[in-house]
Structure 1
């Protein structure tokens, strides 16, 4: 079988199992084994099928087996696992993916047991030779776990010993957890997941947070399988008992993953808006002010007049600052091009907790203690993830020592103090666990987006990461506070369909909140479900009849649904609450226009024109209603104003109709010609619009037999113009 055929056969089996079509899955597995010639798995399949036949036969005889559900779940679980085994065995030799390449490489090398690796990693560091050996052992450990087959009891015990050894550096546990997570992304292994639960119960915050993220990602990827393993639910319950703030931790992870979805938007905003404006203003500003003197103590209350041109940039920078405080990934665009250092060729290094003692730095940052302190302060105070910190340090290494020293000297002790204060404020505001969560998710984002062979991995950030929708997690994340917080976050980031799912869940238990139904309506409206939005808005209106916002939304929905009479009722209600709101006044006029009550519509349009004599937004509807009511001179006056300002194709067309109704054929032809010119001389498009207006022309007294003559005359006029 080709690699494509292997993946197709595997996906067909998984699809059947996800749908709980076990007989089909067994049949597809039989074909998969035969096609891949992996007959060593035939006995396992035969055994599973025989058990299933016995179970069905027993059931068919009317006997009730209290173990039936458990037997069935075990069969489905074993079918999933068997499909995984066959797939990996079939791809082991041929697949060019990094995962299988590393498996093949490890098989050609002398295998080290987890016990031996544990001993190797326990060697005291401090001597360069020993540190090199330690880092090499850590890489071997990472790869061994990542590409391993389902773990045996002996292997599990060996990894548990490593995780629980508090004498080992944090990097060992952190890398072990990352390897387990990455391995689980390639193939489900209950034992690897149980090891993540072990790690999530440890006291070390870095390891614990990474483990919890790994657990959630695994549960999300294998959401159809988790109910088959009672141990998972049991371990979650045990973890909840041991972790007082588990709900808060899960909620934080969910919010950080939502923020991760914003990374590309933020990058584009920086590259397309903020940085270009800064570049544009930089030369002028740098001449006007001395940046070295720019500190809080020397700033007065007055605004520099020179800065008025920075108003738009100021708003963008304020938004950028808010995103930064929120924990958004604002540094991705800065470091996206700084991942080409040799350090990043090693896959495991993308997950490595940051340390200046890594041998990749040599002793460059240990000679000058002041320089090292400054760099340490900058990296701990900022919003850099571990991966970006390595990038930053490697970039500094590229600078000549004199340039680096000069750069460091620009940061005086006051700047150092400010950075340290910023770090302390950040930790107190967001908490250490929240910072670790954000940094690790950013590390994952960079790996799945920027690792040289990242296309060999299924990008977790392109799949739905909706932990709150997983049935197995709902006991821990279904409280009103959590769901409301997550929904509000989705809403604020314009992920309306995601927010709607949660708001609908909340509405099952909260019936008396008009705000909740307002938000349901808004999400539905933004998703294009106008009827559903209207239903929710009407529900909100019943709960609170004084909300002007809801009344306007209801009216707007009725207008969109082509029910102007109903829309008018609500615009009238709104008018009583805000008598001089011009937008509502013009909307009422539109409703009357759609109801063909042109005289009433004109009253409102004139009112808008009188109250707002600057925007002229009422000119067009006044002109058209005047035409429809036979007030052609009035229509002519308004179309003259419109065509003298900023006319479009429709304005010229309507002005032509008005001149024709006034028997000014020459004037009508002139306006029609301008309409065609405004549309790049597309006569066919003009003709379509013209034909739509024929009923109104007939009402205006134009003879039906005059219509084709006007169109022909117009074409001759165009031909004469083009031939000159």
Structure 2
């Protein structure tokens, strides 16, 4: 059985288990055992299958057994675990994947028992007493890496091993970094296969009084619950431990909510990197020294169904000028805690330090031997660099990258750099640190940095393709049945939904808004936001339904009235759109955008004279943009006011004409029997399309009915077109 066959068979078994097709599961397991030659699992498979057959027989005979459901769950859980165990054994010898190759290479070095590693790490006090002894520090760091690797590559943990690791987590004298590494190792190990003992240890870590360990453990728990969401309900202890944590941690719900929001923000990382290099930085480099210059915006139909949110939803309205946006966006993203530095450190993960997988998750300390040895002649530089990184938004992994890159500079260059810093700079660093602490709680900082550390690992680790990238998944933790009881309240769900909405994840937001509507069906804002999400997903009819419901609840919202009008207009129902535009007009009679939209509705309804009234009004009041010129010219043509149409097309052609303008001007001249001028305008229309006759003709053909109504004989049309083609 090849490695590919093993993986395919295992995947099929898991799919059958997810669908509870146990007969197929047992057949698949039999094939996997036989194909891999690991018959030591045969007795376990036979036992499971026999138990299942007995259960089915009792069920078919109608025998009521109160333990039946529990036995059924145990069979399923055991089948999952057996599939994992057979796969692990089958791939252990030959698989080239990083996990299995490291299991083989680390087998001897990780043979040391956990209790011995604990004793070795307990000598940390000796390290503090002999701080200058790099050798002692390196030995302890090596022991921590060995602990990490041993947990990561371990088989399902025995009861004795669990007790030894619990002792490590409960040891208050150990550095915080040890518990953090235990958590990360448990997470990576559980990513490979589910071990309920490792899961239990994560819950133990989440109960730690050391916040860094606790928050990291909660992040790991959520990730494992998501990965095994189709089987985790088979383990009742998980829900029990979650409830126990909720009781033990007063801020449990807030921490879970913070973690969820941070994972939503992590979705933005690649977009931020692209925007940073493609838009923000180039835009800032091109900034004019005179910031007061106005931006010329394109003359667009203002009543296209835009994506602007209701300003009433937000405490502040973002500036809509592109120049201002470019100048403020980077700092806004940074202060929000977004991962704005990912692209900066992409190429700084090739140092030998990062060859050890455990170092990707190591909490940052400037006292690490890899850094102190490089700064051994100037400890003040080390401390100043440490202050700089503490006031930044760097995750732990990036802080190590920063220090290691500084070590590549000659000592003289580093000293010259440090010479640029003075007391004023130190004060600025202190203020930045205080601002950071004020804007982001300790939990936010820990969660944000650890999630970024994870992101770096799954995206940049040299063998990252051998791992299942958690950041390619939706990670909608709020939908997990084990998490839902703690964040199902309206406040928590609203916070998550609002964040999805703000980050433009409209389907995710919509799902929550729909649930919130069930809880509060009289809340017009919820219908507004649900409608907006549907609109942004392209479901205009669904959006209109929600907007209409919101209008029933709050008939005085100008935003919703206008949304309904634009929806009807976009759905080609101008008569209904008119009714809502007139409602808006009554509330805001001086809005020229709405006036021109009313004119457009009348135009679509062929009420040309009525449309002209509104276009005239806009033209009279708006003396700068001339948005009404084109509709006035065309309506004048359609109503037989050809001299007026000619006057307006003349003004349009003197400004910034497009192909349609030349085409319509040609129609006007033709109707006025000025054939040569008509031909000239038609020729310029074709030239506007770079000589593409077919594009021109497609537009011309749509206007033939209007030309006929204006008095152009049908037989004259092909003659005019032929004459035009001879001129091209």
Q: TM-score, with normalisation over the residues of structure 1? A: 0.92
- Return closer, same or farther for 1:677/1:131 CA change in 2, 3 Å cut-off: same
Comparing 78-87 with 174-183, greater Cα deviation is found at 78-87
Where do residues 304-343 of structure 1 align in structure 2 (5 Å cutoff)? 315-343=325-353
2:498 matched residue in structure 1 = 488
Residues 109 and 50 of structure 1: is their aligned pair in 2 closer, same or farther, counting only changes over 3 Å?
same
Q: CA deviation at 1:666?
A: 2.4
1:692 offset after TM fit, Å? Answer: 2.4
1:277, distance to aligned residue in structure 2 (A):
4.7
User: 1:59-84 CA deviation, whole Å, 9 max, x = no partner?
Assistant: 11222222222222222222222222
- Looking at structure 1, the residues matched to 551 and 158 of structure 2 have their Cα atoms a distance apart, in angstroms, of 61
8 Å contact from structure 2 (residues 110, 150) kept in 1: no
Q: Take 1:673 and 1:717, find their aligned partners in 2: how far apart are those partners?
A: 8
Q: Quick one: distance in 2 between partners of 1:313 and 1:535?
A: 37
Mapped contact 1:356–1:365 kept (Cα < 8 A):
no
Structure 1 stretch displaced more, 93-102 or 583-592: 93-102
Shift of 1:110: 6.5
SS of residue paired to 2:107: helix
Q: Does 1:27 align with 2:27?
A: yes
Matched, 1:635 2:645: yes
Task: Check if 1:192 corresponds to 2:198.
Answer: yes
| Alpha-carbon distance change, 661 to 14 in structure 1, aligned in 2, over 3 angstroms | farther
Deviations 1:579-606 (A, max 9, x none): 1111111111111111111111111111
2:365 match: 355
Residues 712 and 34 (structure 1), Cα distance of their counterparts in 2 relative to 1, 3 Å cut = farther
Structure 1 counterpart of 2:455: 445
Deviations 1:132-173 (A, max 9, x none): 221222112111111222222122122112111122111111
Query: 1:9 touches 1:32 (CA, 8 Å); kept in 2?
Result: yes
1:105 aligns with 2:105: yes
Corresponding residue number in structure 1 for 2:165: 159
| Alpha-carbon shift at residue 342 of structure 1 (Å) | 1.2
What residue number does 1:614 align with? 624
Residue 471 of structure 1 aligns to a residue in which SS? coil
CA deviations on 1:174-204 (whole Å, 9 max, x unpaired) are 1010010111122222111110000000101
Q: Residues 70 and 572 (structure 1 numbering): CA distance in 2 closer, same or farther, change over 3 Å?
A: same
CA distance in 1, matches of 2:585, 2:289: 52
Deviation at 1:268, TM superposition (A): 2.4
Deviation at 1:281, TM superposition (A): 6.8
Deviation by residue 1:388-437 (Cα, 9 ceiling, x = unmatched): 11111112212222221221121112221221232133224322222111
Deviation (angstroms), 1:23: 3.0
Match 2:253 to one of 247, 250, 254: 247
Q: Is the 8 A contact 1:559 1:591 kept in 2?
A: yes
Contact 2:391–2:432 under 8 Å retained in 1: yes
* 1:415-564 map, 5 Å: 415-564=425-574
Name the SS for the 2:94 alignment partner: coil
Asked if structure 2 preserves the Cα contact closer than 8 Å seen for 1:496 and 1:523, the reply is yes
TM-aligned CA deviation for residue 227 of structure 1 = 1.1
Question: Partners in 2 of 1:88 and 1:667 — Cα distance?
Answer: 82
* Change beyond 3 A, Cα 1:203–1:312: same
The structure, 1 or 2, with the larger RCO (C-alpha pairs under 8 Å, 6+ apart) is 2
Q: Does 1:264 align with 2:270?
A: yes
What is the aligned partner in structure 2 of residue 116 from structure 1? 116
Q: Which deviates more, 317-326 or 574-583?
A: 317-326
Distance 2:196 2:288 in 1: 56
Q: Judging changes above 3 Å, is the alpha-carbon distance between structure 1 residues 75 and 675 closer, same or farther for their aligned structure 2 residues? A: farther
Measured in 2, the distance between the counterparts of 1:30 and 1:541 equals 62
Structure 2 gap segments, 5+ residues each: 292-320
CA shift for structure 1 position 130: 2.2
Q: Do the aligned partners of residues 706 and 88 (structure 1) sit closer, same or farther apart at CA in structure 2, a change above 3 Å counting?
A: farther
2:180/2:362 contact within 8 Å kept: yes
Paired residue for 1:222? 228
Q: Distance in 2 between matches of 1:513 and 1:471?
A: 26
1:20-59 to structure 2, matched below 5 A, reads: 20-59=20-59
Q: Distance in 2 between matches of 1:453 and 1:716?
A: 66
Q: Which runs of 5+ in 1 are unaligned?
A: 286-310, 719-724
Whether the aligned pair in 1 keeps the contact of 2:283 and 2:326 (CA below 8 Å) is no
The alpha-carbon deviation at position 284 of structure 1 amounts to: 13
